[in-house]
Amino acid sequence: MKEFRFNNEHTSAEVADIIDVLRQPRLWIPTGKDYPNHKNWLDKTEAQIASGSKKAMAAYMGKDAVGTVIYQELVGDIKTLEIKNISVSDDARGRYVRSFLLRNAEVEAIQNDFPNIEEIVVDTKLSNAQMIAFLESQDYSVKEITDLYGLGAGLDVVMSKLLTK
């Protein structure tokens, strides 16, 4: 059995591996048409993780990256953490990697990266019932339903978790 490890500090090679996880088919992502600018976002995100403006909590099974949570301080709001992406490859299905990744990203963000955080927000497509159910199981609740990006890709659900300190 391969060991799992989780980390949010990455070499440039590991950043490339994380982006590769985001490029491949993965769990809980509806379709490519739901995220029409995904390739451009990946290119920008790779540079942002390398520079430290975005963080990535990554899961490794053996030496292979199998999941990640991308997060950052919400632009213009130092009290809100924004989860930009939660992805896990099929190789890690059924191993609770998604829950562990999300919780570790939350803890790391609150304790080390962004100590002023009072709220965490994450969005997903309204059509992504599996992700909505997962987020609700992690104590997130619906904050807003809107077309966040105005790309004609359907409605988005913004979910939120308020933190108590």
CATH fold label, 4-162: Aminopeptidase (3.40.630)
CB atoms within 10 A of CB 164: 4
| Minimum mean pLDDT range among 67-81, 119-133, 142-156 | 142-156
Query: Phi/psi class of residue 86: alpha, beta or left (left: φ > 0; alpha: ψ in -120 to 50)?
Result: beta
Average pLDDT, the chain: 87
Task: Give DSSP secondary structure letters for 143-157.
Answer: EEEE-SS-SSS--EE
pTM, to two decimals: 0.88
The two three-digit tokens of residue 42, written as one number:
């990946």
Q: Which CA distances in Å does 10 have to 57, 78, 85?
A: 9, 24, 17
- What is the arithmetic mean of pLDDT over 55-69? 92
pLDDT band of 83, cuts 50, 70, 90:
very high
Question: Alpha helices, DSSP H only, in 90-157?
Answer: 97-108, 129-137
What are the residue boundaries of the structural domains of the chain, listed by start? 4-162
pLDDT at 32 over 60: no
Helix or strand or coil: residue 29? Answer: coil
Integer Rg of the chain from CA: 15
